[in-house]
DNA sequence: CTGAAAGCGCTAACAT
DNA sequence: ATGTTAGCGCTTTCAG
């Protein structure tokens, strides 16, 4: 195999007997190129096996056609679903994504932002359960567009796409209340994260109030992590508070609490009901299957990326905070 | 907020009264810089809030410190686990990853490779159940290093990290045979993919042969997709062949066949045993829990990335095809 | 230990 | 419709 020399736009220009500028125009399908010279150039491109260098292109044009994506954890099926939607639309619009796991940790988020800025990404998609002040100021100071996917901003400063968590939890809590539970728990990985504190718990309270049932702080439970195991460990606390139903903000955690109950002989849904919120595939794999809020996970990611492409092209966007429709799916973990 | 001007290395040089070259050396912690001038430079860097432009750096140095990662689907928990390992180690070595979903489709893989090459990635991690000839020649013709993570190459041409699938399935099939099943099925999403055809099915045959049981082609089942639903749909075919146990090559598919059996009144494991292969968290979430081959998923990704960093630095690597240890975890889906 | 200068490969005015 | 010419912001010889 002969030594591989990098063939540049200059080589193409020489072989095609045109200028670099013309080659550039031809490969970028610029209108101002006579069809026959375009063909001539493209033929040489093919013959020399020329492939444009995006790095040089990026330096010259100040556009990298890559966007940064900050995700808590790809391993979390909720976020993974969004990521897939993001990548598909990115590809459709010729962008690539640099994916960085943050674990929802501010330090890691800041570090990621920094390297993403260095890499000159054209835009940013941020996923996380909260925007800390440091992250906020960091993202506000750069002029590259950002959109929050499945993530809220209490200050309402960034573009975002979500569902109406407050209304969704309200509706869901109502169902559990209607089934006769007056001690329904609310469990989340982190209670003080904005998405829970400002939205979901508010919806939970709304339902309680409408039903004339007092809100009890002791019925709020924290799993610490968005994992199956951390949900599984919650059983004793739940039992201690004589809870008969639970609204859970994450499917893995919900599966954990449900299995934990079942495994200890507590019948779900007869003696204990659990409802979850993401409608990931997992909700259909457990037995009983999990009743859940339904959200268009893939679409949240897809719409976020679509929004970002508009922002990156300085197009007008009608809605700054997009709310996608949600639903309630009744399965077997509730009566 | 004042207009944001990009501050360049030149600005730093001017303010620090040194040359660009010195600034470059200082920020890259090159040894040949007097400590006090380094400090002087770094102070100015901080004061001006200078941040190096990685694109320019990439063009000048021909190193982008980003690696391309081709993954079938981030939504698949097996690959997601590898991806997390990859990203963590990448971050540790100051690399970023461009993630692209391929769905294991050759067309998409080729397209992804092409744009990744244009982006001048320093290395490539490829995940997929098979290397097609086109993909092979494409990857061979570039001089950037590639490592296959959790993916085999029948021609043994690329660096890789895996477990010994053949031995693992051999051991697993033995267990099922020992339990008295003489019609054990082998099910995979795609039977003719190299990882199945050349490794797992061979292990399955080895066990059959050692047990003196004839191999029957009719006991090989294909799910078509690596999804829960496609596994769920397999029940009738399995029942028709009077199979009493199954070795499944993917956790989601395994959950599907198991639940499908249970849902139709067939008791697992009493009347039907199922064993799976990835030990993703899902295996603990189903009821009964799934017996499985255990593989160090995160580590497969992590080790792959570590290997790649060595390759990118032209360091010697002792092993070209790394095999990580596997085990067998007996849970409740088998006797 | 530091500076000068030449690119890296391409895009984008500005001409023509 | 096409060519000329500057850079984009940095690294890297090569001198000194």
B14-54, pLDDT tens digit by residue?
Answer: 999 999 999 999 999 887 889 999 999 999 999 999 999 99
Which residue shows structure tokens 């640099």? A98
**Residue B106, CB half-sphere, CA atoms under 13 Å: how many?**
10
Whole-number pLDDT of residue B2 = 40
A29 vs A175, more confident: A175
Place of tokens 């929004």: A307
Q: What's B288's DSSP letter? A: S
In this prediction, residue B4 carries a pLDDT of 60
Residue A316 is predicted with a pLDDT of 87
Please report the residues numbered 249 through 268 in chain A whose beta carbons come closer than 8 angstroms to any beta carbon of chain B: 252, 255, 259, 262
Predicted pLDDT at B31: 79
Calculate the angstrom distance between C1' of C15 and CA of A315. Answer: 32
Answer yes or no: is pLDDT of B289 > 60: yes
Residue-wise pLDDT for B207-257, tens only, equals 999 999 999 999 999 999 999 999 999 999 999 999 999 999 999 999 999
User: How far apart are the C-alpha atoms of B196 and B204, rounded to whole Å?
Assistant: 10
Render pLDDT for B140-175 as a digit per residue (tens, 0 to 9): 999 899 999 999 998 999 999 999 999 999 999 999
State the nearest Cα–Cα gap between A57 and chain B, in angstroms.
9
Strand D bases near protein CB (under 7 Å) are: 1-13
Task: Chain B: give the shortest CA distance to residue A166, in Å.
Answer: 27
Residue A98 to residue B54: CA distance in whole angstroms: 14
Interval B192-213 mean pLDDT: 96
Tokens 């099926």 correspond to what residue?
A77
Answer yes or no: is pLDDT of A2 > 80.
no
DSSP annotation of A50 reads -
What pLDDT is stored for residue A129 in this prediction? 85
> Does A192 have pLDDT greater than 60?
yes
Question: Whose CA is closest to B168, among B202, B215, B127, B219?
Answer: B202
Sign of the Cα torsion B12, B18, B22, B27 reads: negative
The alpha carbon of residue B329 and the mean position of all alpha carbons in its chain are separated, in whole angstroms, by 21
Please name the residue that has the structure tokens 């020992």.
Answer: B178
pLDDT of residue A3: 45
Mean pLDDT across chain B:
95
All residues at 6 or more sequence positions from A323 whose CB lies less than 8 Å from its CB, including other chains: A161, A162, A163, A164
**pLDDT of A254-280, one tens digit each?**
999 999 999 999 999 999 999 999 999
Would you call the peptide bond into B93 cis, given omega within 30 degrees of 0 as the criterion? no
Sorting pLDDT into bands at 50, 70 and 90, what band is B129?
A: confident
User: How do residues A66-114 score in pLDDT, each as one tens digit?
Assistant: 999 999 999 999 999 999 999 999 999 999 999 999 999 999 999 999 9
For residue B53, the chain A residue with the least C-alpha distance is A118
Interface of B with A in 156-215 (CB under 8 A): none
* Nearest of A78, A243, A47 to residue B77 by alpha carbon: A78
Nearest CB among A59, A96, A255 relative to B56 is that of A59
Residues of B in contact with A282 (CB under 8 A): 282, 285
Please check whether residue A100 touches B, CB under 8 A: yes
Q: In the structure encoding, which two tokens stand for residue B205, read together?
A: 């045959």
Q: Which chain A residues are within 8 Å of B259, Cβ to Cβ?
A: 285, 287
Q: Does A114 touch chain B (CB under 8 A)?
A: yes
Q: Which B-chain residues 293-332 have CB contacts (< 8 A) with chain A?
A: none
Number of Cβ atoms within 10 Å of the Cβ of B172: 25
- At residue B103, the pLDDT reads 96
Long-range own/partner contacts, residues A2-7 (CB < 8 A, 24 or more apart): A4/B141, A4/B142, A4/B143, A6/A53, A7/A48, A7/A49, A7/A50, A7/A51
Which stretches of chain B are DSSP H helices?
Answer: 9-16, 20-27, 35-48, 54-61, 77-92, 106-118, 133-141, 165-178, 194, 201-210, 228-232, 235-240, 251-263, 282-285, 297-312
Among candidates B68, A78, B16, which has minimal Cα distance to B27?
A: B16
Q: Can you give the three-state secondary structure of A202-236, one letter per residue?
A: HHHHHHHHHCCCCCCHHHEEECCCCCHHHHHCCHH
Question: Backbone phi, then psi, for B280, in 5-degree steps?
Answer: -75, 170
d(CA A81, CA A280): 8
Q: What Cα–Cα distance (Å) separates residue B145 from each residue in A234, B121, B130, B150, B313? A: 47, 10, 18, 17, 10
Mean pLDDT of A198-221: 97
**Tens-place pLDDT, residues B264-284:** 999 999 999 999 999 999 999
The answer, yes or no, to whether residue A33 has pLDDT greater than 90, is no
Looking at residue A4, its pLDDT comes to 59
Whole-number average pLDDT of chain A:
95
Rounded average pLDDT over A123-140: 95
Positions 103-142 of A with beta carbon below 7 A from strand C are: none
pTM: 0.95
Domains of chain A: 9-52 (1.10.260.40), 66-163+297-327 (3.40.50.2300), 165-294 (3.40.50.2300)
Are A74 and B52 inside 8 Å of each other by CB?
no
Does the CB of A17 fall within 7 Å of any strand C atom? Answer: no
Rounded-to-integer distance, Cα B194 and Cα B126, Å: 15
User: Tell me, what's the pLDDT at B5?
Assistant: 75
The residue of chain B with its CA nearest to that of A282 is B282
Those residues whose C-beta lies under 8 Å from the C-beta of residue A263, and which sit 6 or more positions away, are none
């Amino acid at each position: 195999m002969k030594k591989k020399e990098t063939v540049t736009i200059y080589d193409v220009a020489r072989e095609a007997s045109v200028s670099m500028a013309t080659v550039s125009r031809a490969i970028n399908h610029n209108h101002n190129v006579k069809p026959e010279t375009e063909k001539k150039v493209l033929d040489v491109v093919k013959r020399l096996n020329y492939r444009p260098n995006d790095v040089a292109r990026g330096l010259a044009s100040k556009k990298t056609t890559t966007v940064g994506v900050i995700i808590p954890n790809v391993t979390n099926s909720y976020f993974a679903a969004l990521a897939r939607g993001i990548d598909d639309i990115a590809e459709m619009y010729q962008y690539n994504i640099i994916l960085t796991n943050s674990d929802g940790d501010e330090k890691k988020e800041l570090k990621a932002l920094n390297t993403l800025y260095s890499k000159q990404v054209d835009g940013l998609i941020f996923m996380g359960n909260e925007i800390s002040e440091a992250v906020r100021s960091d993202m506000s100071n750069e002029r590259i567009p950002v959109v929050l996917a499945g993530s809220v901003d209490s200050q309402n400063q960034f573009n975002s796409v979500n569902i109406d968590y407050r209304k969704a939890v309200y509706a869901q809590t109502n169902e559990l209340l209607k089934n006769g539970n007056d001690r329904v728990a609310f469990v989340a990985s982190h209670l003080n994260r904005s998405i829970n504190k400002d939205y979901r718990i508010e919806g939970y309270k709304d339902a309680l109030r409408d039903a004339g049932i007092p809100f009890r702080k002791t019925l709020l439970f924290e799993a610490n992590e968005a994992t199956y195991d951390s949900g599984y460990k919650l059983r004793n606390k739940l039992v201690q508070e004589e809870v008969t139903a639970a609204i859970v903000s994450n499917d893995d955690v919900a599966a954990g609490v449900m299995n934990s109950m079942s495994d200890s002989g507590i019948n779900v849904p007869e003696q204990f009901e659990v409802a979850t919120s993401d409608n990931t595939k997992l909700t259909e794999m457990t037995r009983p299957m999990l009743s859940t809020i339904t959200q268009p996970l893939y679409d949240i990611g897809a719409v976020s990326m679509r929004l970002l492409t508009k922002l990156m092209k300085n197009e007008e966007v009608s809605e700054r905070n997009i709310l996608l429709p949600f639903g309630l799916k009744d399965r077997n973990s509730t009566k």
